[in-house]
Amino acid sequence: MKKKLVIANWKMNPVKLADAKKVLTGTLKEVAGVKAVQVVVCPPTVFLPELSKAVKGAGAPRLCVQDLFHEGSGAYTGQTSPQMAKQFKATWAILGHSERRERGEDNETVGRKVRYAIAEGYTAVLCIGERERNEEGAHYTFVRDELEAVFAGLKRKDLEKLVIAYEPVWAIGKRAEEAMQTHELYEMALFIKKLLIERYGRKPAEQVSVLYGGSVKPENAEQIVREGGVDGLLVGSASLDPKQYGEIVRAVQTVAQAQV
Ligand code: PEP
């Protein structure tokens, strides 16, 4: 069985390096000893050189960036290349987050970034998710289109390094009660897994972890993973509080241990 994942997306927080160090130190303390869950931490890229010094050892959390460009170097003002970030122990990358798509990133660009990051040895966390839902189920078509745009350039082998984070945009940044209902999540997780199997076959498809993101808190984490048919969580605001994040990781560990 795949190891469950809990990814911390700090977004553009905190502002000060000293505070980022405190969040990381607290997080490392909280998750020390957790073995059944792979912890992944995505701080702002500019803090990586300093924060990476504190992340040591085979069992340590993986470091992740919140975006990467699809070229190694050149006249691309403001971009960060995979080759740059990997010098500071980043081995995972969130790509296509809705907060970037809202600012103009399209499916084609996300697809190029995913392919390039995987070719450079990263685990790519592809974010997908509809902005809204309607009675006709347009959200299924929306999610399928987002996935197919990326699948178009991905080979079977690339799936070893792919994670899909389903994050319905309407459920992001809210209170725990406003996270997605687990029976709805179960259907969507199944739909995503079915698309993967149809395109790549069962074995390669089963290597891909499907995560949920959107208002995950200590009080709903266990239920989401137990009932939602997902392999882990992508956590935004709650990941900035090491105590809350630690509780979420331990909640997922409880589910992982019960499923062995
Ligand atoms: C996110 O934006 O990736 C996210 C999951 O945020 P939050 O947990 O704050 O809803």
Give nearest CA residue, ligand 1 atom 3.
236
Q: How far, in Å, from the CA of 13 to the mean position of ligand 1?
A: 13
Atom of ligand 1 nearest to the CA of 165: 3
Q: Structure pTM?
A: 0.97
**Alpha helices (runs of H) in 172-228, residue ranges in sequence order:** 182-200, 202-206, 218-227
Q: How far, in Å, from the CA of 8 to the mean position of ligand 1?
A: 9
Residue 40, phi then psi, degrees to nearest 5:
-130, 130
The confidence band for 135, taking pLDDT boundaries of 50, 70 and 90, is confident
Beta bridge partner(s), residue 41: 8, 63
Instruction: Please confirm, yes or no, whether 167 is among the known catalytic residues.
Output: yes
What tokens appear for 176 in the block? 């725990």
* 193-251 pLDDT tens trace: 999 999 999 999 999 999 999 999 999 999 999 999 999 999 999 999 999 999 999 99
Which residue in 120, 130, 146, 167 is the catalytic one?
167
Q: What is the pLDDT, as a whole number, of residue 260?
A: 81
Atom of ligand 1 nearest to the CA of 179: 10
Q: What is the pLDDT, as a whole number, of residue 140?
A: 96
How far apart are the C-alpha atoms of 227 and 241, rounded to whole Å? 25
What tokens appear for 161 in the block? 């390094």
Share of the chain above pLDDT 70, in %: 100
pLDDT value at 138 more than 90: yes
What tokens appear for 232 in the block? 């882990």
How far apart are the C-alpha atoms of 45 and 65, rounded to whole Å? 6
* 21-66 pLDDT tens trace: 999 999 999 999 999 999 999 999 999 999 999 999 988 999 999 9
Query: Cα–Cα–Cα angle for 42, 148, 205, nearest 5°?
Result: 70
pLDDT value at 134 more than 90: no
- What residue has token string 């990586």? 48
Instruction: Please confirm, yes or no, whether 97 is among the known catalytic residues.
Output: yes
pLDDT value at 137 more than 90: no
How far apart are the C-alpha atoms of 170 and 178, rounded to whole Å? 9
Q: What is the pLDDT, as a whole number, of residue 1?
A: 79
What tokens appear for 69 in the block? 């460009």
C-beta of 235 in contact with ligand 1 (< 6 A) = yes
What tokens appear for 115 in the block? 């392919």
Q: How far, in Å, from the CA of 200 to the mean position of ligand 1?
A: 29
pLDDT value at 11 more than 90: yes
* 150-192 pLDDT tens trace: 999 999 999 999 999 999 999 999 999 999 999 999 999 999 9
Atom of ligand 1 nearest to the CA of 97: 3
